[in-house]
Structures are given as structure tokens and as C-alpha cells.
């Protein structure tokens, strides 16, 4: 006894509630005054707004009738009792239901996959960027260094004689033993306290930094940090990471103007950049230990930076590429304390002379 709505003939548009059942080879429509309908006169099809309704259609005395079973479960029950002559049509209905469900499952599945990829990328973006960075050929990285060196030469600020560059060339190679890159050490006549490294092995130190550093170990600390940026391919990782984020943001946020994509990419970049800086600090300390240079120099440098310069307040750190100096100093101090370096010896260099020279030239 399957509930259904009967339509046709003089029945009002709302339909007539009735029940259907197959008795042998005929269909009984209880609740209406229709006679039993032989199976041979019945056609079955799928329809209704939801496309999941079973229509049992037949004609009696020239008038067409249609009984609609709305619920698919009810429809299956009714068809289970249907006579064999209706099997082909019944099969077609059931297959149609299945096909519809499969199509929607596929659509939902695709959406879930896309979502997983996006979320996966967002979670593992760092590791993915690091992995991709290792695939970039070394020659490409070296091109960047060569190009920057050419720019610096053109700008005419390179200091190629004097105690500063001698000190750099004495300390630098100790930190780069066994590296796959060939390093170029450069001092530029800039008063700001800065140093940076390009992918491929160019390390540039500003005169201002040499004037600020109180010992050779401090300079060594900064150099170790910069060398690690090159060794770990941080610039490439950052580029890949930012590119990935921009692409993901544009795809998920669907923002054609790209404003949101750029903003999201920037936010991602900054946090990633801070992670890379922290990595450079910690790996730099390891490199110093290997070179038997006391790592305390780096710590003292940051302690002074935190005290002196206008530093980023902790609250605004989220907008900065570097972690806040006080935080860096604490992290470095903890790392040094955890693994003290017994074999480390102070660098044999007349730092006072270097610093004095740098200060005088500025």
C-alpha cells in the first residue's frame, strides 16, 4: 500500500490522495473509483520538480491518468512488487535515480577535493614552498647575485679596499665551508645598519653595520645569519610562498581586482618571512659553532639593537618582516644556553681598527 497522488480526468489540480499496490499483473488504485489497471497499459517514468518522483501512467477509456509516488523509498517498494513485464521500465527508473545521485556525489566530491587542496596548501604552504625551492636550478640563483653585483658596481658604492673588506673576507669563508655556492663578500658605503644576501652567494654588508658592531664575533653572527638565508634558499621560498598564496587567494576569494589577493599574499608573506628569519637565526648559530666562532656575538648584537633602535613594538610585529628584536635576542640566548660551545675561540682580528676605520669613513 504505497501512498500516491492521482491526477487526470476530472480530478482537481491538487490531485487525489490514494494508495497503489500491485496484485499479480494488475495495479490497484485504492481511494479512487478506478478499476484495476493491467500492467500492459502502464508506463513508468521519473519526473516531478525534484526529479525523484515515480509516475505510473495509464489510460482508461481514453482518459489519461498519472499516479505520482513522491518518495523514492516508497517507489522502490512499489516496484519490488511489480510484475515482470514492467521490469525494464522499473530498472530504467532505478538507474535514473542512481545516476542523479552519482552526478551530485561527483559535484560534491570535486568541491571537497578543491577545498582540501586549498586547505592543504594553506596548512603546508611552508613545506611546499621549501620543497619547490630546492627544484630551482642553482644557475638561476647565481644569476640573481650576478645581477645585483653588477647593479652595486654601477652605483659605485662598493668598498674594495681597507680593513672592513679584509675582515669580511677573513670571517666569511669560515662560515661557508662545504657550501654548494661560491660566495662573494661585498662592503658598501652606506651608513645604515644593514646586511643582506642574494640567492646564489652574494653577501652585502653596509659600512654602518661594521661601525655599529662592537666585536668581530658580532659581525660573524650577522654574516652567519645571512649565509643561512642563502643556504636555505629563503628568498626563493618566500617568492614561491607568496606566489602560491596570491594564486590561492585569487581563486578562493574570486577577487578579480586582485586587491584582496595581494593583501592576503602580503599577510602570508610577512608571517612566512618571520619564520624564515627565525630559521636563519637558529641555523646561523649552528654554523657559528661549526666554524668555532662564539655565537654570543649575535646575541649581543640583537640585545643592543633591541635597546637602541626604534624597534617594532610587539603588538605590531604582525606587520613586520622580521620578528621583534627583543624576541630574537631571547630565542638566540635560549639556543646558545641549551648547547654551549666549548671549542669556540674569539676571532683573531683587530676589530677596534676595523670599527674605527668604518666610523671615520661614514
Partner 1 sequence: MTIQYRIAGSDLQLVEITLQPGEAAIGEPGAMMYMDESLHMDTRLGDGRNVGFFARLSGAFSRAFTGESMFTTVVENKTSAVTKVAFAAQFPGQIMAVDLAAHGGEIICQKGAFLAGTRGVQVGLAFKKRLRVGFFGGEGFILQRVKGEGTAFIHATGAMTEHVLGPGEALKVDTGCLAAMQTSTSYDIRYVGKMKTALFGGEGLFFAHLKGPGRVWLQSLPMHRLARGLFNQAMMGRGKGKLFAYGYALFVIIAIIIAIAGERGGS
27 near partner 1, judged by CB under 8 A: no
Q: Which stretch binds partner 1 (CB under 8 A): 9-17, 174-182, 191-199, 337-345?
A: 9-17
Which C-beta is closer to partner 1: that of 104 or that of 196? Answer: 104
Give the one residue of 3, 31, 47, 346 binding partner 1; rule: CB under 8 A.
47
Residue 62 sits in the site that holds partner 1 (CB under 8 A): no
Contact residues for 128 (Cβ-Cβ < 8 A; gap 6+): 121, 240, 244
For position 48 contacting partner 1 by CB under 8 A, the verdict is yes
The site for partner 1, by CB under 8 A, has a size of 24
Q: How far is the CB of 261 from partner 1 (least distance, A)?
A: 20
Name which of 49 and 84 has its Cβ closer to partner 1: 49
* 69 vs 210 by CB, closer to partner 1: 69
Question: C-beta of 125: minimal distance to partner 1 in Å?
Answer: 30
C-alpha distances (whole Å) from 79 to each of 25, 39, 64, 74, 356 are 12, 12, 21, 9, 98
Residue 8 near partner 1 by CB under 8 A: yes
Per-residue x/- mask for partner 1, residues 90 to 129, rule CB under 8 A? ----------x--xx--x----------------------
Figure out which of the listed residues 30, 38, 40, 64 binds partner 1, where binding follows CB under 8 A.
64
| Residue 124: CB minimum distance to partner 1, A | 33
Q: Select 13 or 135, whichever has its Cβ closest to partner 1.
A: 13
CB-wise, 66 or 212, nearer to partner 1?
Answer: 66
| Closest separation in Å from C-beta 257 to partner 1 | 14
**Direct distance between the N- and C-terminal alpha carbons of the chain, in angstroms, rounded to an integer:** 100
Using the rule CB under 8 A, is 72 a contact of partner 1? no
Q: Which is nearer to partner 1, 62 or 137 (CB)?
A: 62
Residue 49 near partner 1 by CB under 8 A: yes
For partner 1, the binding residues (CB under 8 A) are 5, 7-8, 12-15, 47-53, 55, 57, 64-66, 68, 100, 103-104, 107
Amino acid at each position: 500500500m504505497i501512498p500516491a497522488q492521482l491526477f487526470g480526468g476530472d480530478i482537481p489540480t491538487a490531485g487525489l490522495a490514494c494508495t497503489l499496490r500491485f496484485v499479480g499483473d494488475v495495479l490497484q488504485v485504492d481511494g479512487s473509483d478506478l478499476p484495476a489497471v493491467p500492467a500492459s497499459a502502464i508506463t513508468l517514468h521519473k519526473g516531478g520538480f525534484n526529479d525523484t518522483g515515480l509516475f505510473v501512467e495509464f489510460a482508461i477509456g481514453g482518459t489519461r491518468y498519472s499516479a505520482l509516488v513522491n518518495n523514492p523509498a516508497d517507489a522502490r517498494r512499489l516496484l519490488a512488487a511489480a510484475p515482470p513485464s514492467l521490469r525494464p521500465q522499473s530498472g530504467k527508473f532505478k538507474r535514473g535515480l542512481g545516476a542523479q545521485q552519482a552526478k551530485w556525489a561527483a559535484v560534491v566530491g570535486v568541491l571537497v577535493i578543491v577545498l582540501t587542496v586549498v586547505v592543504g596548501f594553506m596548512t603546508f604552504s611552508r613545506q611546499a614552498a621549501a620543497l619547490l625551492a630546492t627544484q630551482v636550478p642553482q644557475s638561476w640563483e647565481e644569476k640573481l647575485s650576478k645581477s645585483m653585483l653588477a647593479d652595486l658596481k654601477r652605483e659605485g658604492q662598493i668598498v674594495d679596499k681597507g680593513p672592513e673588506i679584509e675582515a669580511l673576507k677573513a670571517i666569511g669563508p669560515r662560515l661557508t665551508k662545504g657550501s654548494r655556492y661560491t660566495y662573494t663578500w661585498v662592503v658598501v658605503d652606506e651608513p645604515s645598519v644593514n646586511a643582506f644576501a642574494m640567492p646564489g652567494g652574494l653577501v652585502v654588508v653596509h659600512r654602518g653595520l661594521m661601525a655599529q658592531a662592537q666585536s668581530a664575533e658580532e659581525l660573524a653572527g650577522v654574516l652567519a645569519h645571512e649565509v643561512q638565508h642563502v643556504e636555505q634558499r629563503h628568498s626563493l621560498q618566500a617568492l614561491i610562498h607568496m606566489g602560491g598564496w596570491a594564486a590561492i587567494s585569487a581563486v578562493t576569494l574570486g577577487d578579480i581586482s586582485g586587491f584582496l589577493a595581494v593583501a592576503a599574499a602580503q599577510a602570508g608573506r610577512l608571517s612566512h618571512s618571520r619564520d624564515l628569519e627565525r630559521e636563519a637565526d637558529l641555523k646561523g648559530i649552528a654554523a657559528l659553532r661549526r666554524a668555532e666562532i662564539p655565537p654570543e656575538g649575535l646575541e649581543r648584537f640583537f640585545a643592543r639593537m633591541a635597546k637602541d633602535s626604534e624597534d617594532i613594538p610587539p603588538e605590531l610585529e604582525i606587520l613586520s618582516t622580521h620578528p621583534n628584536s627583543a624576541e630574537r635576542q631571547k630565542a638566540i640566548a635560549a639556543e646558545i644556553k641549551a648547547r654551549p660551545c666549548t671549542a669556540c675561540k674569539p676571532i683573531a682580528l683587530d676589530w677596534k681598527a676595523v670599527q674605527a676605520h668604518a666610523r671615520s669613513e661614514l
